[in-house]
Amino acid sequence: MTETNTMPTIALVDDDRNILTSVSIALEAEGYKVETYTDGASALDGLLARPPQLAIFDIKMPRMDGMELLRRLRQKSDMPVIFLTSKDEEIDELFGLKMGADDFITKPFSQRLLVERVRAVLRRASSREAAAAAGGVAPKPGAAQLARSLERGQLVMDQERHTCTWKGEPVTLTVTEFLILHSLAQRPGVVKSRDALMDAAYDEQVYVDDRTIDSHIKRLRKKFKMVDTDFDMIETLYGVGYRFREAA
């Protein structure tokens, strides 16, 4: 069997060698391939030269911290990223989500929790890759599956290619951002609560709070405004949730 040849590669970036060792052992026990880096500067070169399916960054590192590493990586790639953060780094967590992190794990954490979070993020990313590898074959029906293509006025989203355009201009989205926007755009005018958006973007075993969804929405708006300064299609209904504006 050649299953090991197709197992995802995960990059770990942390200056604490004890964490690198323990996390590597946990992930390799699940069959993942693991590449490790002890600082952000060397990691950036490796991530771009040999892109993994997912990366895990510690926030506090010398030379280049996790935030700066993510900022530079997002200029070139939308690969899923999970941050490792301390309990007292709430501001960093919110900032990281705005920059495009897909998930956070707070230290100290159990190896079981980390493995489940990794599975959840990879699962969200794998559907589009599987569809593309199948040569355009429609994915099997399922509650979590997206339609292959969605058009709402000037918005066009292609799940198979994981592409999004607004007025013909590309908008680069992370997996989580893509799922949230798709959930909103599926039914213009219908209000989606934060809980509903969490269900659309995260597996049931992954717990996030309201601020996580709010941060993703803010980043979505920022990305679209970079393409169109008049973009206002994502509406906030305070105390209720969000909706995608119906076309006039």
How far are the Cα atoms of 12, 49, 112, 245 from residue 63, in angstroms, in the given order? 16, 20, 30, 44
The whole-number pLDDT of residue 1 equals 35
The answer on 144 and 113 residing in a single domain is: no
The answer on 104 and 15 residing in a single domain is: yes
What is the edge-to-edge ordering of all strands in the sheet holding 149-152?
149-152, 155-158, 163-166, 169-170
Tens digits of pLDDT across the chain (248 residues): 334 457 899 999 999 999 999 999 999 999 999 999 999 989 999 999 999 999 999 988 888 889 899 989 988 888 999 988 875 555 555 666 667 788 888 788 888 888 888 988 888 777 555 544 554 443 433 333 444 688 999 999 987 777 899 999 999 887 788 889 999 999 999 999 988 888 787 755 455 555 778 888 998 999 999 999 999 999 999 889 999 998 75
CATH number at residue 25: 3.40.50.2300
Split into its structural domains, the chain has a count of: 2
Here the tokens at position 236 are: 């906030």
Question: DSSP characters for 179-190?
Answer: HHHHHHHHSTT-
Domain that holds residue 36: 3-130
CA dist., res. 93 & res. 85, Å (int): 7
The whole-number pLDDT of residue 172 equals 85
**237: part of which helix (H) or strand (E)?**
strand 234-237
How far are the Cα atoms of 8, 109, 149, 175, 179 from residue 163, in angstroms, in the given order? 22, 34, 10, 10, 12
The answer on 203 and 87 residing in a single domain is: no
The answer on 142 and 119 residing in a single domain is: no
The answer on 121 and 13 residing in a single domain is: yes
The answer on 117 and 100 residing in a single domain is: yes
pLDDT digits over 43-64, tens only? Answer: 999 999 999 999 999 988 888 8
The answer on 192 and 98 residing in a single domain is: no
Rounded to 5 degrees, what angle do the CA atoms 30, 66, 87 make? 80
The answer on 230 and 161 residing in a single domain is: yes
The answer on 161 and 48 residing in a single domain is: no
The whole-number pLDDT of residue 127 equals 59
pTM here is 0.55
Within 8 A by CB and 6+ apart from 189, the residues are 243, 244, 245, 246
* Coil, helix or strand at residue 49: helix
CA dist., res. 231 & res. 234, Å (int): 8
The answer on 235 and 184 residing in a single domain is: yes
How far are the Cα atoms of 9, 55, 219 from residue 51, in angstroms, in the given order? 8, 9, 24
Of 98, 130, 162, the domain-final residue: 130
The answer on 233 and 189 residing in a single domain is: yes
Of 130, 149, 169, the domain-final residue: 130
Of 103, 130, 157, the domain-final residue: 130
pLDDT digits over 161-171, tens only? Answer: 778 999 999 99
The answer on 142 and 121 residing in a single domain is: no
CATH number at residue 232: 1.10.10.10
The whole-number pLDDT of residue 209 equals 58
The whole-number pLDDT of residue 91 equals 53
Let me know if 82 is exposed, middle or buried by CB neighbors in 10 A (0-12, 13-18, 19+). Answer: buried
**Residue 217 near residue 96 (C-beta atoms within 8 A):** no
